[in-house]
Amino acid sequence: RSGKTTAGLIEAIWYALGRHPYRNVLAPNQGWIVTLDWDVMRDVILPKIWEYLPEREVKNMNRKDGTLEFRNGSLIKFKSCDSGPDKFQSAERRWIWFDEEPPQDIWTECLVRTGSDYPLDIWVTMTPLKGMDWSYSEIIEKQSPGKIEVYGASLMDNFHIPESERRRLWEAFGSKPE
């Protein structure tokens, strides 16, 4: 409940619009929004898109094909890890956002989606429920400014949730709030 999914989504929208406040991102571009399964895409990501993306920026939303076309020519393709790594082959992308930690084979397949004229930017918004697995050694331990940067957040950082609720949730999981 730290707001990580919202942060990841806003980053994706900034990239697609080519209006990123902290990075030089040219539009049009193509990116993937990747969830663990289609239920999360339907129930979490798609409603949030319409909350943060101005309708005037949208050219077409095709739910059958899982694509969102922007008026500026950018394209977001929605992907699900439960489709398997084969569904992540053969495409160049400018950026990829994983909402939650993907399986390692999908992560590895996505690392080669870079284009010839631009770098591939990947971000992951995740709660490390599996502990110190492959993502720890591949992402956390390889931190390097400008290459891999890791940011942490907690429930207590999300000021969109009332303080009384943040404290109640924190205490329900056996820890004391800061």
pLDDT in tens, 91-127: 889 999 999 889 999 988 988 876 667 788 888 888 7
pLDDT for residue 90: 76
Greater model confidence, 26 or 172:
26
The average pLDDT across 14-34 equals: 94
Q: 44-47: long-range contacts at Cβ-Cβ below 8 A with a sequence spacing of 24 or more?
A: 44/5, 44/99, 45/5, 45/9, 45/78, 45/99
Indicate the average pLDDT of the chain: 85
Q: Which ranges in the chain belong to alpha helices (H)?
A: 4-17, 38-40, 46-52, 104-111, 134-135, 163-172
b/e map 120-140, b = 16+ CB within 10 Å: bbbbbbbeeeeeeeebeeebe
pLDDT for residue 141: 74
Greater model confidence, 152 or 85:
85
For residue 55, give the 3-state DSSP assignment.
helix
CB 40 within 8 A of CB 99: yes
pLDDT for residue 149: 66
Kindly report the number of other CB atoms within 10 A of residue 69's CB atom. Answer: 17
Kindly report the number of other CB atoms within 10 A of residue 18's CB atom. Answer: 16
Sign of CA dihedral 153, 113, 145, 12: negative
Greater model confidence, 129 or 14:
14
Residue type, 32: W
CB 120 within 8 A of CB 94: yes
Q: Which two tokens stand for residue 134?
A: 């492959």
Q: Which two tokens stand for residue 130?
A: 């599996």
Per-residue pLDDT band at 1 (split at 50, 70, 90): low
CA distance 152 to 157: 10
User: How confident is the model over 127-167, as pLDDT tens digits?
Assistant: 776 667 777 777 777 766 666 666 667 767 777 778 888 78
Q: What is the pTM of this model?
A: 0.83
pLDDT for residue 120: 84
CA distance 90 to 99: 21
Lowest mean pLDDT among 11-25, 57-71, 152-166: 152-166
